[in-house]
Amino acid sequence: MPQHSFLIIPRNDGVAVSVDGNLHIKEMNSREMLTLAGRCFEVAMEMLKEEERDKDNTNIGEIGIGPAEG
């Protein structure tokens, strides 16, 4: 997947999004902005939990704790 340079700038009338130097303005009202912010927060929390779960699983493997062998 190609990597693009992008920047998201919150504004008092919505957001400005720059993708590879091309600026786009998305006008939003306060409710839309809060919905977007809430969704970003939810996804970030999901990512954090997954990263912590992966880290815990890696640490378990490093100290040799795993299924009993028989």
Indicate the average pLDDT of the chain.
89
- 15-32 pLDDT, tens digit per residue, is 999 999 999 999 999 999
Distance from the first to the final alpha carbon of the chain: 44
User: What's the length of the chain?
Assistant: 70
Q: Is the pLDDT of residue 68 over 70?
A: no
Give the span between the Cα atoms of 63 and 57, in whole angstroms: 10
Domain ranges of the chain: 6-57
**Cα distance between residue 41 and residue 64, in whole Å:** 35
What's the one-letter identity of residue 46?
A: E
Q: What residues have CB less than 8 Å from 46, skipping those under 6 apart?
A: none
Whole-model pTM over 0.95: no
